[in-house]
Structure 1
């Protein structure tokens, strides 16, 4: 990824709800976010994508992961734990993007070293505003770690 603020980023969205995937794509388009959004629908696929295994052998390493908590096959918490315990992935920014407002989910996510916790608004226009704020902070203000030198 380029080091200049606002540079294009590869974003991995880990979300099993097709409606939320569609809404996220629309929010990125509505917010004129020109980053590449890759989508996987469960925790096992997320780890395969991140480790470039199987169908994801040619996938880029994402700059940011947007991770739902309630996923089939492997939960968001399990995925986050594996990311943080992997030397090659541990610095990857992971943002929890979930409908859960449960205090225990928030606490657990930060204990597992999530970089941020965002609750998905139910209203589509509010969701678009959330994505715009995400873009403003994570893609324009924050400096993300560079890709590993191979």
Structure 2
């Protein structure tokens, strides 16, 4: 039986308000050796509209993976994570928190809200690119993502 990943691209939703971090992440996934579609939104409200296929995102495909910054304008990443993991139709989507915060309370709260992993963004650009490569290797190659 053919691997589902070989038949269609992996859908990734990046929720990130920093254009420079978003661009590094997008470049990292563009260089991936596995087909993926990365969609970028800059805030929690847009992310929920995307996930619920509302408004300008009416044709959005359900993501296989969400990369989530915690510090967002408006609805922050913590609130968004709560919404995602409390929705029966969304809670199975893996959420990787990738943020500048290394605060123990943020880490604990994220895991208590069922984040699938928590990564503190490195300040160094080279290290940031390495982290994106590790995310790609683990979540797009090694992990079997939940079915749609």
Mean Cα deviation higher: 51-60 or 16-25: 16-25
Residue 91 (structure 1) aligned with residue 92 (structure 2): yes
- Greater RCO (Cα-Cα under 8 Å, separation 6 or more): 1
Matched residue, 1:8: 9
Contact 2:34/2:140 (<8 A) preserved: no
Aligned length: 146
CA RMSD of aligned residues (A): 1.8
Matched residue, 1:24: 25
* 1:31-61 residue CA offsets vs partner (Å, 9 max, x unmatched): 5554111000000000000000000000111
Matched residue, 1:127: 128
Distance 1:68 1:34 in 2: 23
Distance 1:3 1:137 in 2: 17
1:82 Cα shift?
Answer: 0.6
* 1:5-48 residue CA offsets vs partner (Å, 9 max, x unmatched): 8x731100000111111111122234555411100000000000
Give ranges in structure 1 of 5+ residues lacking alignment.
none
Structure 1 length-normalised TM: 0.90
Contact 1:81/1:112 (<8 A) preserved: yes
Structure 2 length-normalised TM: 0.91
Matched residue, 2:142: 141
